[in-house]
A = this chain, B = another copy of it.
Amino acid sequence: MKELDPLLHSQLRLAVVSILMTVDEADFVFLKEKTESTAGNLSVQLDKLSSAGYISVEKSFVGKKPRTRCRMTATGRKAFEEYVETLREYLKL
């Protein structure tokens, strides 16, 4: 049995990546609302995905307010596809 990529096999990170796979880009606030996570938890998990090169994170300002925008990278998309494929094998989907 292949192992399920531990970086993706996590409640919140999987939710984030699932969203990012469908929307081209999403900002911190949007992800926080959609996933109903706390800001702290989301911040940490975005860092992990970013450090792994699965997502890119761009921090900018709109007026004086910070804005953090996230999107999948090619690496992330590939990892996600593989994760889904492994899961299919597990669950026979």
Contact = CB atoms under 8 A, between A and B. Distances in A.
Interface of A: 1, 3-4, 6, 9, 11, 14-15, 18, 22, 34-36, 84, 87-88, 90-93
B91 A1 contact: no
Nearest to A35: B1
Contacts of A84: 91, 93
Interface of A is mostly: helix
The quantity of this chain's copies bound in the complex is 2
B11 A11 contact: no
A41 B93 CA distance: 27
A30 to B, nearest CB: 13
A60 to B, nearest CB: 27
